[in-house]
Amino acid sequence: MTPELTFKLASNFAIIGWLLLAGLPNARVTKLLIRNGVWPLILSGLYLLILALYARGGFDFGSLEGVTKLFANPWVLLAGWVHYLAFDLFVGIWETKEAEVLGISRWILIPCLFFTLMFGPIGYLLFQIVRWRKGGSHASI
Protein backbone atom coordinates (compact mmCIF):
# COMPACT_ATOMS: atom_id res chain seq x y z
CA MET A 1 0.00 0.00 0.00
CA THR A 2 1.32 3.44 -0.89
CA PRO A 3 1.23 6.55 1.29
CA GLU A 4 -1.18 8.15 -1.23
CA LEU A 5 -3.66 5.27 -1.08
CA THR A 6 -3.42 5.14 2.71
CA PHE A 7 -4.03 8.92 2.79
CA LYS A 8 -7.18 8.57 0.70
CA LEU A 9 -8.52 5.64 2.71
CA ALA A 10 -7.86 7.33 6.07
CA SER A 11 -9.34 10.62 4.90
CA ASN A 12 -12.48 8.96 3.55
CA PHE A 13 -12.79 6.91 6.72
CA ALA A 14 -12.66 10.10 8.80
CA ILE A 15 -15.19 11.87 6.55
CA ILE A 16 -17.67 9.03 7.07
CA GLY A 17 -17.30 9.57 10.80
CA TRP A 18 -17.85 13.32 10.47
CA LEU A 19 -20.90 12.87 8.26
CA LEU A 20 -22.48 10.46 10.71
CA LEU A 21 -21.65 12.76 13.61
CA ALA A 22 -23.11 15.85 11.94
CA GLY A 23 -26.01 14.26 10.07
CA LEU A 24 -27.15 11.35 12.23
CA PRO A 25 -25.75 12.06 15.70
CA ASN A 26 -28.25 9.90 17.56
CA ALA A 27 -28.46 7.00 15.12
CA ARG A 28 -27.49 3.64 16.56
CA VAL A 29 -24.54 3.24 14.16
CA THR A 30 -23.22 6.70 15.10
CA LYS A 31 -23.49 5.98 18.80
CA LEU A 32 -21.85 2.59 18.38
CA LEU A 33 -18.97 3.58 16.08
CA ILE A 34 -18.41 7.30 16.40
CA ARG A 35 -19.69 8.76 19.65
CA ASN A 36 -18.11 6.11 21.84
CA GLY A 37 -14.71 6.86 20.30
CA VAL A 38 -14.18 3.77 18.14
CA TRP A 39 -13.53 5.82 14.96
CA PRO A 40 -10.74 7.97 16.46
CA LEU A 41 -9.38 4.85 18.15
CA ILE A 42 -9.05 3.10 14.77
CA LEU A 43 -7.32 6.18 13.35
CA SER A 44 -5.01 6.19 16.38
CA GLY A 45 -4.15 2.56 15.68
CA LEU A 46 -3.35 3.44 12.07
CA TYR A 47 -1.12 6.26 13.32
CA LEU A 48 0.78 3.85 15.55
CA LEU A 49 1.10 1.29 12.75
CA ILE A 50 2.47 3.86 10.28
CA LEU A 51 5.03 5.11 12.78
CA ALA A 52 6.04 1.58 13.79
CA LEU A 53 6.52 0.46 10.18
CA TYR A 54 7.91 3.55 8.49
CA ALA A 55 9.40 6.02 10.96
CA ARG A 56 13.14 5.48 11.20
CA GLY A 57 15.76 7.46 13.02
CA GLY A 58 15.33 10.02 15.75
CA PHE A 59 12.59 12.59 15.98
CA ASP A 60 13.79 16.17 16.25
CA PHE A 61 10.88 18.23 17.53
CA GLY A 62 13.24 20.84 18.98
CA SER A 63 13.37 23.05 15.90
CA LEU A 64 11.31 23.85 12.84
CA GLU A 65 14.15 22.54 10.69
CA GLY A 66 14.08 19.22 12.56
CA VAL A 67 10.32 18.88 12.07
CA THR A 68 10.69 19.81 8.40
CA LYS A 69 13.27 17.04 7.92
CA LEU A 70 11.05 14.60 9.79
CA PHE A 71 8.08 15.35 7.54
CA ALA A 72 10.18 14.94 4.40
CA ASN A 73 9.41 11.22 4.79
CA PRO A 74 5.96 10.77 3.15
CA TRP A 75 5.00 8.07 5.64
CA VAL A 76 5.79 10.30 8.61
CA LEU A 77 3.92 13.15 6.94
CA LEU A 78 0.97 10.77 6.50
CA ALA A 79 1.20 9.84 10.19
CA GLY A 80 0.95 13.55 10.99
CA TRP A 81 -2.18 13.79 8.84
CA VAL A 82 -3.76 10.78 10.54
CA HIS A 83 -2.90 12.42 13.88
CA TYR A 84 -4.98 15.44 12.80
CA LEU A 85 -7.83 13.23 11.62
CA ALA A 86 -8.01 11.32 14.91
CA PHE A 87 -7.74 14.30 17.24
CA ASP A 88 -10.04 16.62 15.30
CA LEU A 89 -12.72 13.91 15.22
CA PHE A 90 -12.25 13.33 18.94
CA VAL A 91 -12.83 17.05 19.55
CA GLY A 92 -15.89 16.98 17.27
CA ILE A 93 -17.34 14.09 19.28
CA TRP A 94 -16.81 16.04 22.49
CA GLU A 95 -18.42 19.14 20.96
CA THR A 96 -21.45 17.09 19.94
CA LYS A 97 -21.89 15.60 23.40
CA GLU A 98 -21.35 18.95 25.10
CA ALA A 99 -23.83 20.67 22.78
CA GLU A 100 -26.49 18.15 23.76
CA VAL A 101 -25.84 18.66 27.47
CA LEU A 102 -26.05 22.45 27.09
CA GLY A 103 -28.98 22.43 24.68
CA ILE A 104 -27.03 24.06 21.85
CA SER A 105 -28.94 23.87 18.58
CA ARG A 106 -27.69 21.47 15.90
CA TRP A 107 -27.81 24.43 13.49
CA ILE A 108 -25.26 26.23 15.64
CA LEU A 109 -23.20 23.10 16.28
CA ILE A 110 -22.83 22.07 12.63
CA PRO A 111 -20.72 25.12 11.65
CA CYS A 112 -18.54 24.46 14.70
CA LEU A 113 -18.09 20.87 13.57
CA PHE A 114 -17.25 22.01 10.03
CA PHE A 115 -14.58 24.38 11.28
CA THR A 116 -13.21 21.71 13.64
CA LEU A 117 -12.96 19.32 10.69
CA MET A 118 -11.34 21.85 8.38
CA PHE A 119 -9.31 24.05 10.74
CA GLY A 120 -9.14 22.13 14.05
CA PRO A 121 -8.35 24.76 16.67
CA ILE A 122 -10.51 27.42 14.99
CA GLY A 123 -13.54 25.14 15.25
CA TYR A 124 -12.70 24.35 18.85
CA LEU A 125 -12.38 28.08 19.59
CA LEU A 126 -15.69 28.81 17.87
CA PHE A 127 -17.41 26.07 19.86
CA GLN A 128 -15.93 27.38 23.11
CA ILE A 129 -17.31 30.85 22.31
CA VAL A 130 -20.76 29.36 21.63
CA ARG A 131 -20.46 27.27 24.78
CA TRP A 132 -19.46 30.29 26.86
CA ARG A 133 -22.34 32.37 25.47
CA LYS A 134 -24.71 29.54 26.34
CA GLY A 135 -23.42 29.57 29.91
CA GLY A 136 -21.67 26.23 29.74
CA SER A 137 -19.74 25.31 32.83
CA HIS A 138 -18.82 21.72 32.02
CA ALA A 139 -15.16 20.85 31.92
CA SER A 140 -13.31 21.51 28.70
CA ILE A 141 -11.21 18.82 27.09
- The pLDDT tens digits of the residues spanning 2-54 come to 999 999 999 999 999 999 999 999 999 999 999 999 999 999 999 999 999 99
**Integer angstrom CA distances of residue 24 from 33, 48, 86, 92, 116:** 12, 29, 19, 14, 17
Query: Which pLDDT belongs to residue 137?
Result: 62
Give which of 33, 25, 37, 40 is closest to 99, Cα–Cα: 25
- The three-state secondary structure class of 34 is helix
Query: Which pLDDT belongs to residue 138?
Result: 55
Query: Which pLDDT belongs to residue 139?
Result: 58
Alpha helices in the chain (DSSP H): 3-23, 28-30, 38-54, 64-70, 74-102, 106-119, 121-134
Q: How confident is the model at residue 141 (pLDDT cuts 50, 70, 90)?
A: low
Residue type, 136: G
Per-residue pLDDT of 88-116, as tens digits, reads 999 999 999 999 999 999 999 999 999 99
Q: What is the mean pLDDT of the chain?
A: 93
Whether the predicted pLDDT of 67 surpasses 90: no
Residue type, 135: G
Please spell the DSSP secondary structure of 44-75, one letter per residue. HHHHHHHHHHH--S----SSHHHHHHHTTSHH
Query: Which pLDDT belongs to residue 140?
Result: 60
